[in-house]
Amino acid sequence: MKVAFVNVNAKQDAIGGRELTFYENKCSIELGTLYLEANVAWRPEDRTLQVNLLHLLSRGEDWRSALGRFAPDVVALSALTYYAPELAFVAGWVKAEFGSVVVVGGPHATALGRSVLDDDNIDYALVGEGEAGFSDLLDLLREGGGDGGDGGGGGSGGDGGSPRADVVGLVYREPDGTVRANARGVVPDLDTLATPTLAHLDPTLFAGYTSLLNLKVRYVPIVTTRGCPYQCVYCHDIMGKSVRYRSAAAVVAEVDYWREAAGVDTFLVYDDIFNIHRGRVREIFAEFARRPGLRFAFPNGLRADLLTEDIVDLLLEGGTFYAMVAVESGDRRVQEVIKKRLNLERTRRMIEYMGNAGVILGSFNIFGFPSESEADIERTIEFNASTTGLSKANFFVLSPHEGTEVWDMAIDQGYEPPRGGAGEGYFSARESSPTAEVSWHRLEELRREAYSRFYLTPARVRKVLTDTARNMTPQEKHTFHSVDYSFVLRQFLDVDSLDALPRGETTELLHDLLPAGVLSGY
């Protein structure tokens, strides 16, 4: 059996041949399909192919040709909701070209569940953690000849096969078209999972592209936990509310493997909240502190009000150089509305401590929560702009998604979902405001104001210069500065040239920060 794993992570016009923008070349290593491949007991005759669409496109390669040469029997697609239209496009092309069995998994499939199979080109979905059921699905398809959603696997399994009703996490069609959904897949003991190795991933292939860090650096992503216990209204429940942990020994062993086998010393931790268990953080980073030269980044975020000064010190000692924290709102009432319930006073204290101790620190923030007023948003802007510890900040306009609590809250406020479907407005709502208190147009104005107030001050530019000088090589600094400030200046402030900015200390510092011509090349 030939199985192709495809990460659908590029927009449709780019898939069709449009030149990628500077920002789209943020080509990250996707762990989900790598874990799937690593956890199948493959037979000697089996063949696999990993396809990262954005990676192929950024190299000028044709993803259709890559799949055509492989001629897969099964195509396993993974995507975020942002790429839902592209997921449908790729599924349709694969089905028409090869007649392959199309299986969809990952965050989008888990969030939508049964409705994924509204697309006739998709034969199966795997919801939850795909490792729990993917091997059984492949055995089922081997028995049935791989004939898609109506065919094999309906009977009792032989030789390791399994009836469809017994495949954990499987969403499938009965012969009469009825869609069935089995209980979502969960892996209780994460140490039972195999982790990706050089057999599945060559990290040098991604070293020339900016990652989630806005850096061009050879790295490997790792995951040490799954699940999140918090009840934030804007989040989908992808991995469940019960947190499961890999043992400290397993995490350290994975880092040691990549360092010894491939010379990798930079690791991106993809956990939702790595620091959810303080004792475990101490255990892991005490080991990393004994291994000089390691570098760790937390692009998905640490929970700031769970940090302590001693943990920050240990994170630094163990090689942490970059982290994000999710503030979302600087208003106490809104924190209760969204059920994040962040301790804002402790969060500020930890931001100042960690950011001024040497970590490049950034924040995530969202405007437009239901019932949020302009005064509430002003408090979020001021919370970020008044810090000395942050080097960067991201400001988004809320895009409610069906299946989350905030979706119902926004509908009650008069929110109208994008007509183009789930893939539209993922990073910013489109024209219809999710809060009755502030118009969509005003939300976008406030977003621009937030970026200007945060980034365009002499103190902030000096902070970025200091942090990057302490933590990055000259080439890394060039990439980090170029992506972050170019994105803000071009996308949000409509600045095509530094000469268009008012003269003053900030502009002079930006000339020192950004290479000549970087904005015109963005």
Specify whether the CB–CB gap between 335 and 234 falls below 8 A.
no
In tens, the pLDDT along 193-227 reads 999 999 999 999 888 777 777 777 889 999 999 99
Confidence grade of residue 119 (pLDDT, cut at 50, 70, 90): very high
Strand partners, 172: 180
In tens, the pLDDT along 500-517 reads 888 899 989 888 877 666
Over 60: is that where the pLDDT of 161 sits?
no
| Mean pLDDT computed over 310-327 | 98
Q: What is the pLDDT of residue 424?
A: 59
The sign of the dihedral angle between the CA atoms of 124, 139, 40, 217 is negative
The sign of the dihedral angle between the CA atoms of 510, 513, 519, 522 is negative
Q: What is the pLDDT of residue 160?
A: 43
The predicted model scores a pTM of 0.91
159: amino acid identity, one letter: D
d(CA 91, CA 76): 10
What is the distance between the terminal CA atoms of the chain, rounded to a whole angstrom?
A: 43
Specify whether the CB–CB gap between 522 and 26 falls below 8 A.
no
Q: What is the pLDDT of residue 151?
A: 39
Confidence grade of residue 154 (pLDDT, cut at 50, 70, 90): very low
- The four Cα atoms 82, 86, 88, 91 give a dihedral, to 10 degrees, of -130
Calculate what percentage of the chain has a pLDDT beyond 90.
Answer: 67
DSSP summary character for residue 30:
P
391: amino acid identity, one letter: S
d(CA 465, CA 474): 11
Sorted by sequence, the CB contacts under 8 Å of residue 55 that are 6+ apart come out as 27, 205, 206, 209
Encoded tokens for 5: 């794993």
Q: What is the pLDDT of residue 16?
A: 65
**Helix spans in 358-473 (H):** 374-385, 405-412, 440-455, 458-471
Q: Domains in the chain, ordered, with CATH?
A: 2-147+164-181 (3.40.50), 206-480 (3.80.30.20)
d(CA 88, CA 84): 6
Q: What is the pLDDT of residue 289?
A: 98
Strands 392-397, 101-105: parallel, antiparallel or unpaired by DSSP?
unpaired
d(CA 494, CA 452): 11
